[in-house]
Amino acid sequence: MSYNLKIYMLALVSFLVGTSEFIIAGILDKVSDDLGVSVAAAGQLITVFSLAYGFGTPFLIAVAAKVDRKKLMLYALSVFIVGNVAAFLFSGFGALIVSRVIVALSSGVFVVTSFTVAAKLAPAEKQGSAIATLTMGFSTALIVGVPLGRLVASTYDWKVVFGGMGLLGLLALLLIAFAIPKTDGEQPVPLRDQLKLLKNPKIVFALGITFFWIGGYSITNTYISPFLLNITGMSEKFVSIALLAFGIASLIGSKLGGFGTDRWGFKPTLVTGMLLHVAWLVVISFAAHSPWLMFPLLMLWALSAWSSSPTQQYYLISLAPEATGIMLSLNTSVVQLAFAAGAGIGGVVVEGVSLTAVTWIGAAGVAVAALMSAAAFGYLRVGAASRAARKEARAGKINA
């Protein structure tokens, strides 16, 4: 079996894991109504998930460093099944929070391990595309998983979504068991040694880019379903179609980001994608009340937002190629902490300002990431140097 096919199989399982993470945003209003909590409170399920994912993943990855990567993915999927079945069987907001923590921890271990395996399976010159293919699995969760989950929740009950993911988890378990080869574990890396990477200012700055980029994205994305229903005025059916359109564009954006990284380099691809991300969020805020304009704008937003995922991960790997697993683990933690921060800030904005403000606040977060990227790659310094050169030239003319 070719390495390409194996990576696509990993991407297929990533689709399921991605659906389990993103689905709450797609059914937020359903969960809110059924459990008798506010939309902002229901949004904190994303915060809890992300915090557990972000803080728990590095610890679990360090503890399980010596475990064969294939076995580790199988263990993670087993726990993933338990967490989703618990969400299906038990009632109450508290029980749902506990199940989300279980799913978050298992998802974190699987995601980091799968990226490590993909990087080892692919040739060096194809690592950008391999990472993009795995990211495509998460994008596909937005294309199929979230809209389908929304449809199931509308037709039956939102709990059926989690029961279905538990069953699909069993199929994913079999797929990994038969399709993915054994991959040796690594030497255990204590958390204190992992954190030593944070002494490198370039790495800290790069992780800051991830935080503001994902945080800005999360502020808007967490509340996208209520936004489309209450602000744009879409019907239940149109919201599902809009989420489908969003997901299709996410898939294309992810592949475009991988292609751009391999073809033009990660620097221009990352900065351009983030600047477009900011632009489309601002435009969405102006077109918020037009359902027909919202369809193409959602796709443009998703296209630009997801193009940065494989590119940013490639950039981080390039900063510490000797510690790929640790870098991916740290980045995954920052991603989840950013999702938590975005959901939390979005909840405050929704309760304290208005639902319409989430696009503006989200755009501001991504704008910070774009500026940080430009600074990290020397684009801003080049501009400053050019201005300094012009001043020196003018001074020379005056003196002459």
**Residue 118 confidence (pLDDT):** 79
**Residue 124 confidence (pLDDT):** 66
**Residue 263 confidence (pLDDT):** 82
Q: What is the mean pLDDT of the chain?
A: 84
Quick: pLDDT tens for 222-276. 888 889 988 988 888 888 888 888 888 888 888 888 888 888 888 889 999 999 9
Nearest to residue 327, comparing CAs of 153, 138, 198, 187?
198
Spacing of C-alpha 86 from chain mean position = 24
In the predicted model, is pLDDT for residue 393 greater than 50?
no
Residues sharing a CB contact under 8 Å with residue 33, sequence separation 6 or more, in sequence order = none
Does residue 269 contact residue 261 with C-beta atoms inside 8 Å?
Answer: yes
- pTM equals 0.76
In the predicted model, is pLDDT for residue 356 greater than 70?
yes
pLDDT-derived band at 187, boundaries 50, 70, 90? low
Q: To the nearest 10°, the Cα dihedral for 129, 131, 133, 134? A: 170
In the predicted model, is pLDDT for residue 386 greater than 60?
no
**Residue 125 confidence (pLDDT):** 67
**Residue 191 confidence (pLDDT):** 62
Which range is least confidently modeled, 122-126, 168-172, 354-358?
122-126
In the predicted model, is pLDDT for residue 363 greater than 80?
yes
In the predicted model, is pLDDT for residue 43 greater than 60?
yes
pLDDT (average), residues 137-156: 80
How does DSSP assign 380-400, residue by residue? HHHHHHHHHHHHHHHHHHHH-
In the predicted model, is pLDDT for residue 88 greater than 70?
yes
Using only the alpha carbons of the chain, give its radius of gyration. 21
The residue behind tokens 């209450």 is 230
pLDDT-derived band at 189, boundaries 50, 70, 90? low
**Residue 104 confidence (pLDDT):** 93
pLDDT (average), residues 29-35: 87
Instruction: Please give the Cα distance from 42 to 358 (Å, whole number).
Output: 16
pLDDT: is 328 or 41 the higher one?
Answer: 41
pLDDT: is 14 or 179 the higher one?
Answer: 14
Which range is least confidently modeled, 121-130, 150-159, 390-399?
390-399
Q: What is the 3-state secondary structure (H, E, C) of 320-382?
A: CHHHHHHHHHHHHHHHHHHHHHHHHHHHHHHHHCCHHHHHHHHHHHHHHHHHHHHHHCCHHHH
In the predicted model, is pLDDT for residue 132 greater than 70?
yes
In the predicted model, is pLDDT for residue 188 greater than 60?
no
CB atoms within 10 A of CB 384: 11
In the predicted model, is pLDDT for residue 389 greater than 70?
no
**Residue 329 confidence (pLDDT):** 72
How far, CA to CA in Å, does 395 sit from each of 254, 381, 385, 399, 400?
A: 48, 21, 15, 6, 9
